């Protein structure tokens, strides 16, 4: 014993939080948040005109699926207990045009993929569909352009409505309007209801930021984008603005809401989660995935621990659901228990 403390038993702390960190079993027992396969949604890309998966160079381990490999990936995700799959269609370049015709073609690649996945897994996975024009237009923006080359908000809403009905008819359980057009949730909701698709849910991309972290996604969808999306996606400097978008989306009928990207916007995610009673999602996007994979490949990070830590951060900030390219892998590791 240190002589300076002799005769003073109260000099040492009696409250010791470390008691609850002593063993793995103790830490597991008192953990405030846990990952579970049912928390996870797998984003997946399906590309027209290929018969084998095509690796995405900037996203090691992620591919552009063929229709056959997508069916297998969906079945694997369902078997692992993953909650859902979010599909992105990549049409042949020659089929892209100014208004995104593949997006409303019943035989467009995304609609074919929706039918394929529903045929493969039925209702064992929640089958979600990206509702946006960026993958199917020749200019790469999320909307229709006007004569001056600006994104025309209201003309875009009309296209989203057409796309929504086609995607619902192809079998989507959930649509994700992701273009950040004003009024998109309400416009799509009315179109779905009028077409008899009242049970198709909407996952609103409520706070989608104009982020540098989307870089690898551009490769994943063969993006034709020139310029940027700063006139419609949110400014990374703004947090309070997300709450305004949230209020509007809820008023327009959003069933679920999302913050995208994830890690750089945990503060926004927390504020959104505190403000709502609907389910909240976070999207761990391509750049977040690529950073971890690149650092792990170089031995700079423990890959599995880093993955788990990032996903737990979303849960701690209030996410009920997490879209992550590691969904199936993590679900297999954690099991259904």
**283-323 residue pLDDT tens:** 999 999 999 999 999 999 999 999 999 999 999 999 999 99
Using the predicted structure, report yes or no on whether residue 25 has a pLDDT greater than 70: yes
* DSSP state letters, 208-230: EB--GGGHHHHHHTT----S--T
pLDDT digits (tens, 9 = 90+) for 248-269: 999 999 999 999 999 999 999 9
pLDDT for the residue 216:
80
Residues marked as catalytic: 208, 260
Helix (H, G, I), strand (E, B) or coil at 288: helix
pLDDT for the residue 321:
97
Q: Look at residues 230, 313, 312, 334 and name the one whose alpha carbon lies nearest to residue 264.
A: 313
pLDDT digits (tens, 9 = 90+) for 109-124: 999 999 999 999 999 9
DSSP structural state of residue 301? S
Q: How far is the C-alpha of 217 from the C-alpha of 213, rounded, in Å? A: 9
pLDDT for the residue 184:
96
pLDDT for the residue 207:
96
**Please, what is the Cα angle at 277 between 271 and 281, to 5 degrees?**
60
Higher pLDDT, 228 or 119: 119
Higher pLDDT, 227 or 128: 128
Q: How confident is the model at residue 271 (pLDDT cuts 50, 70, 90)?
A: very high
Answer yes or no: are the C-beta atoms of 41 and 87 closer than 8 Å: no
* DSSP state letters, 39-73: GEEEEEEEETT-SS-EE-TTSTT-EEEPHHHHHHH
> Virtual CA dihedral for 64, 105, 281, 41, nearest 10 degrees?
-40
DSSP structural state of residue 22? S
pLDDT digits (tens, 9 = 90+) for 28-37: 999 999 999 9
For residues 40-46, average pLDDT: 97
pLDDT digits (tens, 9 = 90+) for 70-100: 999 999 999 999 999 999 999 998 899 999 9
* DSSP state letters, 120-164: HHTTSSEEEEEE-STTTBSS--SS-B-TTS-B-HHHHHHHHHHHH
| Residue 148: half-sphere exposure toward Cβ, Cα within 13 Å | 3
For residues 212-231, average pLDDT: 78
Q: Percent of the chain beyond pLDDT 90?
A: 83
pTM beyond 0.85: the answer is yes
Instruction: Give me 36's structure tokens.
Output: 């579970």
Q: Which residue has the tokens 């989306």?
A: 249
Angle of helix 303-317 versus helix 286-297 axis, rounded to 10: 150
Answer yes or no: are the C-beta atoms of 324 and 331 closer than 8 Å: no
Long-range contacts of 303-312 (CB under 8 A, 24+ apart): 304/333, 308/35, 310/262, 310/263, 310/284, 311/35, 311/39, 311/284, 312/33, 312/35
pLDDT for the residue 6:
56
pLDDT digits (tens, 9 = 90+) for 133-176: 888 898 878 889 999 989 999 999 999 999 999 999 999 999 99
Using the predicted structure, report yes or no on whether residue 217 has a pLDDT greater than 80: no
Residue 146's CB is within 10 A of a number of other CB atoms, namely 11
pLDDT for the residue 1:
43
pLDDT for the residue 12:
86
Domains parsed from the chain with CATH numbers: 34-334 (3.20.20.70)
Q: How far is the C-alpha of 85 from the C-alpha of 152, rounded, in Å? A: 30
Question: What end-to-end distance do the CA atoms of the chain give, in Å?
Answer: 46
The per-residue pLDDT of the chain, averaged, comes to 93
């Amino acid at each position: 014993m240190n002589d300076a403390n002799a005769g003073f038993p109260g000099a040492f702390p009696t409250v010791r939080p470390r008691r609850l960190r002593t063993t793995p079993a103790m830490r597991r027992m008192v953990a405030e948040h846990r990952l579970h396969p049912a928390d996870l949604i797998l984003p997946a890309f399906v590309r027209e005109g290929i018969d084998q998966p095509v690796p995405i160079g900037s996203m090691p381990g992620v591919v552009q699926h063929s229709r056959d490999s997508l069916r297998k990936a969906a079945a694997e995700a369902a078997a692992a207990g993953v909650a859902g799959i979010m599909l992105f269609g990549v049409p042949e370049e020659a089929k892209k045009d100014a208004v995104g015709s593949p997006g409303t073609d019943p035989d467009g690649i995304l609609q074919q993929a929706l039918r394929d996945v529903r045929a493969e897994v039925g209702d064992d996975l929640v089958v979600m569909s990206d509702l946006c024009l960026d993958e199917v237009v020749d200019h790469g923006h999320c909307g229709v352009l006007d004569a001056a080359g600006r994104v025309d908000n209201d003309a875009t809403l009309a296209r989203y409505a057409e796309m929504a009905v086609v995607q619902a008819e192809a079998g989507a359980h959930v649509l994700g309007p992701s273009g950040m057009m004003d009024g998109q949730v309400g416009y799509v909701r009315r179109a779905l209801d009028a077409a008899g698709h009242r049970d198709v849910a909407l996952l609103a991309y409520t706070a989608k930021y104009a982020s540098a972290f989307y870089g690898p996604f551009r490769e994943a969808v063969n993006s034709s984008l020139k310029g940027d999306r700063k006139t419609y996606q949110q400014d990374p400097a703004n947090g309070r603005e997300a709450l305004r978008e949230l209020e509007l989306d809820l008023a327009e009928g959003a069933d679920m809401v999302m913050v995208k990207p994830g890690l750089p916007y945990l503060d926004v995610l927390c504020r959104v989660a505190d403000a709502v009673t609907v389910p909240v999602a976070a999207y761990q996007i391509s750049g977040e995935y690529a950073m971890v994979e690149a650092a792990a490949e170089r031995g700079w990070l423990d890959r599995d621990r880093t993955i788990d830590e990032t996903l737990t951060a979303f849960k701690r900030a209030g996410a009920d659901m997490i879209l992550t390219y590691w969904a199936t892998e993590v679900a297999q590791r954690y099991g259904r228990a």
